[in-house]
């Protein structure tokens, strides 16, 4: 009886899918011969795929529900695994050693192309950790985070172009300017939250991009700024390969630094204020927490990392233009935080690696890669709504022992 019910539901899903994909899968307008092709065979395929997909997906869900009722001892959740590893000293040392070994040997074992991909992934790790302060800890939905990234990149590019300021001087300057712009954005949105905040931050991101695109005298408009010097190492002349490896290790250092600082922040007084703000704004105020100050520090400290990330990005690509700082970037960074696990450092790091590396390695699927990527995102959010590695705080704990 359940089976026939399931088959009925799956048939319905198949028909719905056939209807939805009808315009793109069945109709094809041949513009050369001015005729319309009707590819009915595709409809049949969609129908069959929809039917089985729905049927399998549903049975999978049922099993998952069953599994939740009596936890299957054979499957260990990723979060539990991570907790186990970090909890056990020997295991955690071993894991750290393996990761360190991989990280150090990576640039010598792989091609320049691979190293470049890894560098951009590491930049996104930094951006993700920065946005994690705003979104994951303080609970402020920020869709304009890329603006600070752009500010950092342009700060280095312009300062270098006009005043010949080097990378290492520009890095802290980028951080400060990023923080300044964070406060600039923070002030007008102090009273906003949720979807309203998201819209305003999104607008802010677009404003920065449009300014950079249209103020030719200042930013050279869409043609961008070229010949940005790569980071220097005591005035050494470096080949492209050397320089890339150097940036790679620089990025590793920056990521470690970010993780260290964010971890410390999370457990500090201000971190607790952020968490209170995220959980309940009214209660947060009732605890005597300065709401305005807390929000502004979240925006400022989040933007700091984007500013630094921007400086490194400019130094890595040696060329920037406004096209690198569209809203799509903000969305990707937000995806990193949400998909990785809000508020969890390990989660955000793995989220960034998955989200940035996956599309690169999916190039085998050529034009379908973004489709596959989208499907993976949807499936991920269904099966791991808390992220790849959720924040431990968010899982309820029932401990017996005394505190």
Q: What are the residues binding other proteins (CB under 8 A)?
A: 269, 272-273, 275-276, 279-280, 282-283, 285-292, 393-394, 396-399, 403
- Give CA 270 to chain center in angstroms: 23
Residue 26 C-beta: closest distance to other proteins, Å: 48
Kindly report the backbone phi and psi dihedral angles of residue 204, in degrees, each rounded to the nearest multiple of 5, phi listed first: -60, -45
The rounded distance, in Å, linking the Cα atoms of 84 and 88 is: 6
Q: Which is nearer to other proteins, 216 or 395 (CB)?
A: 395
Spatial contact of 348 and 255, defined as CB atoms under 8 Å apart:
no
Spell out a b/e string for 109-125, using b for 16 or more CB atoms within 10 Å of the CB, else e.
Answer: eeeeeebbbbbbbbbbb
According to DSSP H, which parts of 22-145 are helical?
Answer: 40-69, 78-87, 89-109, 112-131
Q: Which is nearer to other proteins, 37 or 280 (CB)?
A: 280
The closest of 358, 107, 117 to 249, measured between CA atoms, is: 107
Q: How buried is residue 269: exposed, middle or buried, by Cβ count under 10 Å (0-12/13-18/19+)?
A: exposed
Q: Which is nearer to other proteins, 292 or 371 (CB)?
A: 292
Spatial contact of 204 and 183, defined as CB atoms under 8 Å apart:
no
Q: Which is nearer to other proteins, 49 or 392 (CB)?
A: 392
Residue 291 C-beta: closest distance to other proteins, Å: 7
Residue 386 C-beta: closest distance to other proteins, Å: 11
What does the radius of gyration of the chain's CA atoms come to, in whole angstroms? 24
Residue 398 C-beta: closest distance to other proteins, Å: 6
Q: Which is nearer to other proteins, 289 or 389 (CB)?
A: 289
Q: Which is nearer to other proteins, 34 or 397 (CB)?
A: 397
Residue 46 C-beta: closest distance to other proteins, Å: 42
Binning the chain into helix, strand and coil, the percentages to the nearest 5 are 75, 0, 20
The rounded distance, in Å, linking the Cα atoms of 113 and 248 is: 12
Q: Which is nearer to other proteins, 97 or 287 (CB)?
A: 287
Residue 193 C-beta: closest distance to other proteins, Å: 15
Q: Which is nearer to other proteins, 92 or 285 (CB)?
A: 285
Residue 194 C-beta: closest distance to other proteins, Å: 16
Residue 342 C-beta: closest distance to other proteins, Å: 11
Q: Which is nearer to other proteins, 66 or 393 (CB)?
A: 393
Residue 188 C-beta: closest distance to other proteins, Å: 18
Name the residue with tokens 């989220």: 351
DSSP string, 299-360: HHHHHHHHHHHHHHHHHHHS-B-GGGGSHHHHHHHHHHHHHH-TT-HHHHHHHHHHHHHHHH
The rounded distance, in Å, linking the Cα atoms of 299 and 180 is: 9
């Amino acid at each position: 009886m359940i089976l026939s019910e399931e088959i009925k539901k799956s048939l319905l899903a198949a028909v719905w899918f056939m209807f939805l994909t009808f315009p793109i899968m069945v109709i094809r307008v041949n513009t050369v011969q001015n005729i319309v092709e009707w590819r009915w065979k595709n409809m049949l395929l969609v129908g069959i795929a929809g039917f089985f997909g729905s049927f399998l997906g549903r049975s999978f869900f049922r099993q998952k529900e069953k599994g939740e009722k009596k936890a299957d001892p054979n499957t260990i959740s990723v979060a539990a695994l991570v907790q186990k590893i970090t909890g056990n000293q020997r295991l955690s040392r071993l894991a750290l050693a393996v990761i360190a070994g991989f990280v150090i040997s990576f640039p010598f074992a792989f091609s320049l192309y691979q190293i470049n991909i890894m560098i951009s992934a590491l930049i996104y790790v930094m951006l993700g950790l920065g946005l994690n302060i705003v979104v994951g800890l303080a609970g402020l939905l920020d869709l304009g985070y890329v603006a600070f990234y752009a500010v950092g990149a342009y700060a280095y590019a312009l300062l270098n172009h006009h005043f010949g300021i080097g990378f290492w001087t520009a890095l802290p300057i980028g951080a400060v300017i990023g923080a300044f712009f964070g406060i600039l954005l923070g002030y007008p949105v102090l009273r906003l939250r949720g979807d309203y905040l998201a819209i305003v931050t999104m607008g802010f991101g677009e404003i920065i991009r449009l300014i950079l695109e249209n103020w030719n005298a200042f930013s050279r408009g869409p043609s961008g700024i070229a010949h940005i010097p790569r980071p220097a190492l005591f005035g050494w002349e470096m080949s492209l390969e050397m320089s890339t490896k150097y940036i790679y290790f620089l990025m590793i250092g920056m990521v470690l630094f970010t993780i260290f600082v964010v971890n410390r922040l999370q457990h500090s007084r201000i971190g607790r204020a952020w968490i209170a703000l995220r959980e309940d704004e009214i209660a947060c105020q009732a605890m005597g927490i300065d709401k305005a100050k807390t929000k502004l520090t979240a925006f400022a400290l989040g933007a700091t990392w984007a500013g630094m990330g921007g400086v490194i990005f400019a130094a890595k690509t040696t060329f920037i233009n406004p096209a690198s700082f569209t809203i799509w970037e903000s969305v990707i960074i937000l995806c990193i935080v949400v998909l990785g696990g809000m508020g969890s450092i390990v989660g955000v790091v793995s989220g960034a690696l998955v989200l940035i590396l996956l599309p690169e390695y999916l190039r085998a699927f050529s034009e379908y890669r973004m489709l596959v990527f989208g499907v993976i995102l949807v499936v991920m959010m269904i099966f791991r709504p808390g992220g790849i590695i959720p924040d431990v705080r968010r899982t309820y704990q029932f401990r017996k022992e005394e505190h």
